[in-house]
Structure 1
Amino acid sequence: MERRDFLRVGVVGAAAAAFGGASWHDAFAATAQPGPSPYGPLQAADANGVSLPSNFTSRIIARSGQRVASTSYTWHSAPDGGACFADGTGWIYTSNSEVPLVGGVGSVKFDAGGNIVDAYRTLNFTSVNCAGGATPWNTWLSCEEIDRGYVYETDPFGVKAAIRRPAMGRFKHEACAADPERKVIYLTEDVPDGCFYRFIPNTWGDLSAGRLEVLIGTDSQTSGPVTWKQVPDPDGSPATRGQVAGAKRFNGGEGCYYAAGVCWFTTKGDNRVWAYDAANSSISLTYDDSLVSPGTPPLTGVDNVTRSSAGDLFVAEDGGNMEICLITSNLVVAPFLRVNGHDGSEITGPAFSPDGKRLYFSSQRGTSNSVFAGVTFEVTGPFRS
C-alpha cells in the first residue's frame, strides 16, 4: 500500500477537551503533518523485535498456545481488541480472540508492581471476536465480526458469566465505545458499505433493552451536521445497514474510542480517521489517506485506536509498517513503535494501564503469519501525562 497521509482536524471545542490541551483548540484550522515524535526517533529493535524511543522497554506477556507465566491459562489464538481495567492496586488486560467457533475472551491480571498473578478465560465458544469496548461499569463488550454477529458483555474479573446482548444489534461488529454523558454506546460495522450506530439503553448500565439507531448523512459527506434514525429490526434480518433510508456508508469500520464529547473511529477501506462531535451531532474527517501531503507519511492501514492520559491518539496499523503511530495535541503525526519481522500480521488491542504508564498490544499472527502465533506485548516508559 502506498503511504499517503493528510490530517485535518475539524471538531471544535469538544474535541479540544477530548485531547486535554489548548493547543488542539488553537490548531483546528491547521493541517497536521508528519514531524518529530515528542518521544524522539525509534531506536534499533530490542530483543523482542520492537523498535521504541529511548528510555522505553518492551516485554512479551503472552504467546498464543502457550501458558501465561505463573498461571495455568493457555493464551488464546489471534489476540485482537483489548482494554485495561483497574483491579485494586493492580489491573487487568482483557483481549479478544479473532478465530471462528471458539473465539472468546481472555484476561491477564497484574499486581501493583506489574507482575502477572493470574490469567483466565471470560468468554467461550463465540466466533471471530474482533474488537469491542469498555463500559463505565467495568465490563468488556466483545464483538463478533461475522454476519449477524452479537455483542457479548463480559466480566474482565472472571466472576460473572458473560451475557449476550442482542438488543445492541446483529451485524458484522467491530468496535464500540461508551459515551457516559449522553448514555449511549457507539458501534462500528466492518463491511465496505457499513454504518455507524449508537445504542441507547432503556436504563444506563443495563444493556438488555434499548434502541439501536444508525447515523444519517450522505455517502460523500466528510464534515457537518448529521442525524440519527432508529433501526426497526436490530435482529439483522434484513441487514441492519439496509433498513433505514439515508444511512451514511462507511468503508470498513474499525477502531472506536470516546473521550470528552468526541467519538473517534477508523475506516480501513479508505484509510480514514473520523471524529463524531456528540455535543453538536456533527462529523469531521481527521485523517484521509487519499489526500497526499509532502514528505513520507508515517501512518497507514488505520485500525484500532486508543488515547493516552496526555490526550494523544495512538493508532495501530493493520499491515503498513506494523507500527503504532501517535497524533499529538499540536498536530504532529509520528511513529511511536514498530514491530519488526511480523510482516504478515497486524497490530491489535492497544490499551493503556489505568495509571497510563504501560501500553499493551498484540501482533495478531506473529512472525509466521498464523493465528496460532500471536504475541502480546507490554511497553513501559515515560509516557506523557
Structure 2
Amino acid sequence: MRQLSKTSRRSFLKKSGIATVGFMGLYQFVQPNALANTINAKAGYGALLPDPEGILNLPKGFSYKIISKMGLEMSDGLLTPGSPDGMGTFKGENGKVLIVRNHEISPDDLEKGAFGKKNERFKNVSADLLYETGKGQLPGLGGTTTLVYNPQTGEVEDEFLSLAGTIRNCAGGITPWNSWLTCEESTVKTGSYDGRLDLNHGYVFEVNAAADKKLNKAIPIKEMGRFNHEAVAVDPKTSIVYLTEDRGDGLFYRFIPNEPGKLYNGGKLQALAITGEKSRDTRNWSDLDTPKFKKNQPYKVTWIDLEDIDAPEDDLRHRGFEQGAACFARGEGIWFGDGELYFACTNGGEIAAGQVFRYTPGVSEGKANESTSPGTLELFAEPNDKEILKSCDNVAIAPWGDLLLCEDDKHPFVVGITPKGEYYKLAENVGYRTEFAGGVFSPDGSTYFVNIQGAGLTLAITGPWGQRA
C-alpha cells in the first residue's frame, strides 16, 4: 500500500484551496484483492432517500438546488443552451465560484441552442468570435457557458455564453493556469450538413475562466489532433495534457507542449503503448481472444509519436494502433489527482459495463530519458456488475480522496469509490431518463455540481461531506 506523505497532502490541499477535510489519496485504492465488488451504503453517506420532488434521491442530510435550466434567458440576452456536459470550477472574486460548462449540441438541434429556435438571436453576437458560422445559416451550437455562482446564497449571479461555433462539446478539463479546455466529440467535415459547414471539426479549444461576460474567440488547438475528443487532464507539474477518445477502439493520448502553459505554441502528440506488447487491447470484452488486461497490475508504458494528426479520414486511432498503441473501449472522463490520473472507459470490461484506469506518470515524464523510469498504467476498476457500476462517464476526485463517477444511462447514479475500494451510491436520477454529466466539486469542496443532461438542468448538491454513514 502506498500512502501520501503529510507534506504531499498539505501541498494538494494548498493547491486545491481545500482546508477542511484531510485528503486520503487515491494511492490507497488499488491493492491486491481490495476492490470489493459490492455496494456498501455505509461506505458512503447511507441509503438514498426518496425525493419529494421526484428528481434526485440523495442520502440523509444532503440537498440539491437547480441552479440553471435550458431555455431561460442568460445575462447576455442569449438562452441557456441544452445538453450540458463536462464542467470545471474555478475560484472567483469575493468567494464566488466560476463554473465553465460544456454543451453537447449539434448544429441542427436549434431547440437546444443559445440563439433560439430559429437562430434569431445569432445576430446579437460577433460572428468573428465563433469558430463555425455555417455560412451564416448553421452556426455551431456547441461551446461553453460560464456561470458565476454565489455559494452563500446558492444563486447564479451571472450566466453567459463564453465559447461558440463548435460542435458537440462533450467534456474537457481544467488547467493549472485557470482556463478550461473544451473538446469536440465530433469529426464532421467541411461541406457536411448539406454543404453548409465551412470547417472541419474534432478539436480542443481553450476558454478563459473569467466573470467578464465575454465571448472568447474560438481557436482550435490543432496540434492536439483531430479526432472524437472526449476529455483532457493536465499535469500541473509538467503541463503535459492527457486526452481520451470516445471510440470503441480509441487510443489514449498525451500532448507535450513546446512551452508549459502555452498550448497554442505547438507541441507533440503521442499515443500510449504497453511496453513489450504491441497493439495491446485493454477492453477485456468476453468475445475477444486477446489476453485479459489484469486488474491491479502496473504495466510499463511507452509513447508513440503520431503523424498527420489532423487526420482528414478520422483514422488517427487506426494508424496509431498499427504502430503499436494500445486501444481502449470508449475513453471518457479523466481527472488528475495528486501525482496520478484516472480515466473511465464507458463500455470496457467483460460485460461492457465500464472500466476505470489509473495512469501514473514517470519521474522524467515527457523527457528524453523517460524510458529509465517510465509511467505505468493499471486497470483500477472493472466490477462487471451493472448493479454496482454501469457506463461510467465523467470522473472527478473528491477533496477527501473518493472517486466519483457519473453514469451514462437512462437510470443513472453517481457512484463513489472510497480509498478502501468500496463502492457506494451518492445520487440517483429518478426524474428524467437521461444521463448524469459533468460532476465536479467547487474549489473549496463544499458543493458538488452535476448536470442532468437530457433535461438541460445543472444542480448544486450540498451536505455533510465529511461525515460517513
Q: Give TM-score, length-normalised by structure 1.
A: 0.87
Map 1:315-334 → 2, pairs under 5 A: 315-319=405-409, 321-334=411-424
Map 1:173-322 → 2, pairs under 5 A: 173-208=229-264, 209-217=266-274, 218-220=280-282, 221-222=293-294, 223=297, 224-237=299-312, 239-244=315-320, 245-270=323-348, 271-279=354-362, 280-290=374-384, 297-319=387-409, 321-322=411-412
Residue equivalent to 2:428: 338
Q: Would you say 1:167 and 2:223 are equivalent positions?
A: yes
1:72 deviation in Å?
4.3
Contact 2:411 2:435 in 1 (8 A): no
Change (3 A) 1:71 1:22: closer
Percent identical among aligned pairs is 31
Q: 1:94 aligns to what SS in structure 2?
A: strand
Q: Would you say 1:356 and 2:412 are equivalent positions?
A: no
Change (3 A) 1:26 1:319: closer
1:83 deviation in Å?
1.0
Q: 1:163 aligns to what SS in structure 2?
A: coil
Residue equivalent to 1:78: 83
Q: Output the amino acid matched with 2:170.
A: C
Distance in 2 separating the partners of 1:340 and 1:383: 22
Q: 1:350 aligns to what SS in structure 2?
A: strand
Distance in 2 separating the partners of 1:327 and 1:257: 14
Distance in 2 separating the partners of 1:273 and 1:178: 18
Query: Which of the numbers 29, 33, 36 marks the counterpart of 1:30?
Result: 33
Distance in 2 separating the partners of 1:178 and 1:272: 21
Contact 1:275 1:285 in 2 (8 A): yes
Q: Would you say 1:379 and 2:468 are equivalent positions?
A: no
Distance in 2 separating the partners of 1:72 and 1:383: 36
- Structure 1 unaligned blocks of 5 or more: 1-10, 367-373
Residue equivalent to 1:87: 92
1:13 deviation in Å?
5.7
1:298 deviation in Å?
2.7
1:14 deviation in Å?
7.4
Change (3 A) 1:13 1:169: farther
Q: 1:100 aligns to what SS in structure 2?
A: coil
Contact 2:85 2:103 in 1 (8 A): yes
Q: Output the amino acid matched with 2:343.
A: F
Change (3 A) 1:14 1:146: farther
Contact 2:26 2:401 in 1 (8 A): no
Change (3 A) 1:84 1:227: same
Contact 1:172 1:191 in 2 (8 A): yes
Q: 1:167 aligns to what SS in structure 2?
A: helix
1:115 deviation in Å?
2.7
1:237 deviation in Å?
3.5
Change (3 A) 1:196 1:23: closer
Q: 1:356 aligns to what SS in structure 2?
A: coil
Q: Output the amino acid matched with 1:286.
A: F
Distance in 2 separating the partners of 1:287 and 1:325: 12
Give per-residue Cα distances to partners, 1:100-150, cap 9 Å, x unaligned: 131111111023524321000011111011000010111111100012501
Q: 2:281 aligns to what SS in structure 1?
A: coil
Contact 2:25 2:400 in 1 (8 A): no
State which structure, 1 or 2, has the greater radius of gyration over its C-alpha atoms. Answer: 2
Change (3 A) 1:26 1:43: closer
Q: 2:47 aligns to what SS in structure 1?
A: coil
Q: 2:223 aligns to what SS in structure 1?
A: helix
Change (3 A) 1:330 1:320: farther
Q: Output the amino acid matched with 1:277.
A: T
Runs of 4+ in structure 1 deviating by more than 6 angstroms, as ranges, are 14-19
Give per-residue Cα distances to partners, 1:73-115, cap 9 Å, x unaligned: 5211111111111112211111111011311111110235243
The count of residues paired between Structure 1 and Structure 2 equals 362
Residue equivalent to 2:185: 145
Q: 1:251 aligns to what SS in structure 2?
A: coil
Q: Output the amino acid matched with 1:149.
A: G
1:311 deviation in Å?
0.9
Give per-residue Cα distances to partners, 1:238-277, cap 9 Å, x unaligned: 5221233111100111101111121100111221111111
Give per-residue Cα distances to partners, 1:140-165, cap 9 Å, x unaligned: 11100012501010123144534321
Question: Would you tell me which structure has more strand in proportion to its own residues?
Answer: 1
Q: 1:152 aligns to what SS in structure 2?
A: strand
1:219 deviation in Å?
1.3
Q: 2:35 aligns to what SS in structure 1?
A: strand
Distance in 2 separating the partners of 1:219 and 1:246: 10
Question: Would you tell me which structure has more helix in proportion to its own residues?
Answer: 2
Contact 1:142 1:152 in 2 (8 A): yes
Q: Give TM-score, length-normalised by structure 2.
A: 0.72
Between 1:113-122 and 1:233-242, the stretch displaced more is 233-242
Q: Output the amino acid matched with 1:219.
A: D
